Structures are given as structure tokens and as C-alpha cells.
Amino acid sequence: MGTYLEHYNVTVSDIEFATEFFLTVFPDFQIRGEGIIEEEIDGSLYKTKWRHVGTESHYLALQSTPNNLPLKENKYNYFNHLGFVVGDINSTLEQFTLMGYGKHRIDDSHPYRTRAYIYIFDTLILELVQYKSDEFDKMNDYAL
């Protein structure tokens, strides 16, 4: 399979409303996974709720603002990143490096996928995902 856009990650002011909206408008959507990210920034602990809503192969990655701060006070953009599935993550990263976009972070901690985040410029981040399985239950596993 070729490269394709898998997900769009966006910050929303009300994750419950956004979830209900998309589940109602698109009846084939379901909640694929959800959780809370905890991170320390400048000595303060921030919690961000996330939820993936969509089909087995495509989804919206919704997330709240850290500690549910109002969007206008959020230092993060509402648009977070685009996630593309690629066949060979290393050769794709080589192409980005040749183009001068060498700043990236790789996460290969999951047994069925490798991810890389590429910082194109201040407001554009791409997530590349290479799956190591064709089985959706393994590809979409959030527990590992």
C-alpha cells in the first residue's frame, strides 16, 4: 500500500462534544482509543486528554488543551500534526534529510509500528508511521 493520510491531530475546546458530534455525523466512526498524557512543562504538571475517533484505517486524533485551559490561553496551535502511513520510514526520513529537514524524533517502542515526528517549520509537524502488521487490532493497539 502506498503512502496515505491516516489521521489529523487537532486540539478542541470540548472533547466530549467533539466526540459526540463526529460519532453522530459519521455513524461508521467509533472511539478507537483514548487516554491522558501527563507532562511536566516549566516545573508544572499538565494533563491532556486524547481520543481517537474514526474507522480502523483513518481517524481524527482529538485532544483537550493541557489542564483544560481555554483555547485562547493555549500556547499550542489548534492544529497539531498530520499523520501519514509510509511503507519504509527510514527511506522517507532520508528524503526529508536530503531536503534539509533533518530534525526529527523517532519512537519505535511499539512492537507493531514505528513513528517519527518531523518538524518542518514552527507550525507544521508531520508524523510518519510504518506499521509492522497488516492486522488492524495490532496496528491500532494502544495498550502496549
pLDDT of residue 72: 63
User: CA-CA distances (angstroms) from residue 58 to 7, 17, 68?
Assistant: 6, 20, 26
| Architecture of the domain made up of 4-139 | Roll (3.10)
Q: CA 53, CA 135: separation in Å to the nearest integer?
A: 18
36: closest CA among 46, 44, 48, 45? Answer: 48
Q: What is the DSSP string of 15-59?
A: HHHHHHHHHHH-TT-EEEEEEEEEEEETTEEEEEEEEEEE-SS-E
Matching residue, cell 502496549: 144
pLDDT of residue 11: 86
Its pTM stands at 0.70
Based on the number of CB atoms within 10 Å of its own CB, is 62 exposed (0-12), middle (13-18) or buried (19 or more)?
buried
Q: CA 121, CA 123: separation in Å to the nearest integer?
A: 6
Mean pLDDT by 10 residues, the chain (144 residues): 88 89 89 93 89 94 82 64 90 86 85 90 80 89 81
